[in-house]
Structure 1
Amino acid sequence: MRPIIGITSYVVPATWGVWHDLPTALIPNDYVAAVEQAGGRAVIIPPDGRDPDVLRVLDGLLLAGGPDVEPVRYGAEPEPLTETRADRDAGEFPLVRRALELDLPILGVCRGMQVLAVAAGGTLHQHLPDVLGHERHRPAPGIYGEHEARFEGGSMIAKLMGDDVGVHCYHHQGVADPGTLTVTGRAEDGLAEAVEDPDRRFVLGVQWHPEVVRDRRLFGALVEAAS
């Protein structure tokens, strides 16, 4: 059997056919395709804050990108440009904490990396242009930023990425303090681009969007760890 990889998702109004603005559990199909092309079986997980019991039938967990994490979860007040979804936080944080207890393989993408960091006791920058002085990590609505990342020698992400270090990013927040995780990659401006937990078999967060290019290196590593 293919390893079953759960992908966290949104519930947002969506329109198709004759149906308009129906509350819909969805996720960009790039995530599903990336998991399937890497040999996994993708299962979409709608937000559910009641319990993390779904993990009992999963072999791995993919924390997808999305809205900002609620600042209260890392002891901060929300800033004007912070946009949160309480339902996703309520559903994802119990999943992450239980998955870490079970040593279930986890890949966090963009928001997913930030969720990992906050779950590990870390904090976030709420608006990167205020910290970095530029908007290259989210240059325009719907436009990915492109840059190169630097990875720590010997780290999991360095071994996976090799010499191809170009990444596609779209975010206005970032990890300020990774908590108990280890920062293993940074952008040219010093922002954390990758975090890992070397004490677990596979816990990796990346600030960019590898699903956009169906990056078999990262999704293949998740599927392999879940096998």
Structure 2
Amino acid sequence: MPKPLIGLTTYLDRARWGVWDMPAALLPETYPRLVQAAGGIAAMLPPDAPATAAEAVARLDGLVVAGGADVDPARYGAERDPRTGPAAAERDSWELALIDAALATGTPLLGVCRGMQLLNVALGGTLVQHLDGHTGGVGVFAAHTVKPVPGTRYASLVPEAVTVPTYHHQAVDRLGSGLTASAHAEDGTVEAVELPGMRWALGVQWHPEMDADLRVVEGLVAAASDG
């Protein structure tokens, strides 16, 4: 059986490598390595015209919406908190279009950190623009326990409480239409969401690409292999 092709969204930022210093489409290598370790083929999806999202998703077996910048509060009808980071307008537009296309076609979808928040916003939900205690400082991952909600898809993949790598200062507030919370941190923060009845649509607030636990991404790859 061919390995499933999993699309991974990317940053669009300035970067340095070798003798070069220029704008780049980039992603920490831990993301494609995670997909590869779980049995998939990784394909990077830099920001593009939203009108092409459906065509892109049609060529994929699964989609990962990666972490990154804060979602523009205008996307969920909120005033900008001073602690909210600069908007990444191209990523917001492109990734929301990819999410819409994946949901419309039943393409297996995993949202990571920002990706989970975008999934929530795509379905009409809102975000908490700042909370403390979920990073280890600037550029440093924290770790905390996440407890699954029994009976959810996430709990079927990871039935026990686990310690996860985390780096976020925003989180889900009001759940989007049809979403259910499938894991929580000890402080009550929603740490995973999913769409019951969908072929496979899950968001996690932590960073599985920074962990050795492959179960969530193996779930995505298995669902993508069934198509």
TMscore range, shorter length: over 0.9
CA offset digits 1:120-174 (Å, max 9, x no partner):
110000111xxxxxx3201301111111112111111112113251111100100
Q: SS at 1:44's partner residue?
A: strand
State how far apart, in whole Å, the 1-side matches of 2:204 and 2:71 are: 16
Q: SS in structure 2 opposite 1:137?
A: coil
CA change 1:75–1:62 in 2 (3 A) is: same
Work out which of the residue numbers 79, 82, 107 in structure 2 matches 1:80: 82
Deviations 1:44-75, CA, capped at 9 Å, x for gaps: 00011332121111000001000011111111
2:183 matched to which residue of 1? 185
Paired residue total: 220
CA offsets per residue over residues 99-129 of structure 1, 9 Å max, x none?
Answer: 100011000100010000001110000111x
Distance, in Å, in 2 between the alignment partners of 1:49 and 1:18 is 30
CA contact (8 A) 2:6 2:43 kept: yes
Residue 34 of structure 1 contacts residue 215 of structure 1 at CA under 8 Å; is this kept in 2?
no
Q: Distance in 2 between matches of 1:30 and 1:155?
A: 27
User: In structure 1, how many angstroms separate the alpha carbons of the residues matched to 2:50 and 2:205?
Assistant: 28
State the percentage of identical aligned residues: 49
Take 1:50 and 1:182, find their aligned partners in 2: how far apart are those partners?
27
SS at structure 2 position matched to 1:185: strand
More divergent stretch after superposition (22-31 vs 144-153): 144-153
Work out which of the residue numbers 104, 121, 125 in structure 1 matches 2:124. Answer: 121
| Deviation of 1:82 (Å) | 1.1
SS in structure 2 at match of 1:108? strand
**SS at structure 1 position matched to 2:35:** helix
Q: Counterpart of 1:93 in 2: which secondary structure?
A: helix
SS in 1 for 2:173: strand
Asked if residue 175 in structure 1 is aligned to residue 172 in structure 2, the reply is yes
- 2:204 is aligned with 1:206: yes
Structure 2: gaps (5+ residues): none
Measure how far apart 1:199 and its partner are.
Answer: 1.8
Q: How does 1:126-141 map to 2 (within 5 A)?
A: 126-128=129-131, 135-141=132-138
Give me the whole-angstrom Cα distance separating, in 2, the residues matched to 1:49 and 1:186: 35
Structure 1 segments unaligned to the other structure (5+ residues) = 129-134
In structure 2, the residue matched to 1:65 is: 67
Matched, 1:96 2:93: no
- TM-score of the superposition, structure 1-length normalised? 0.94
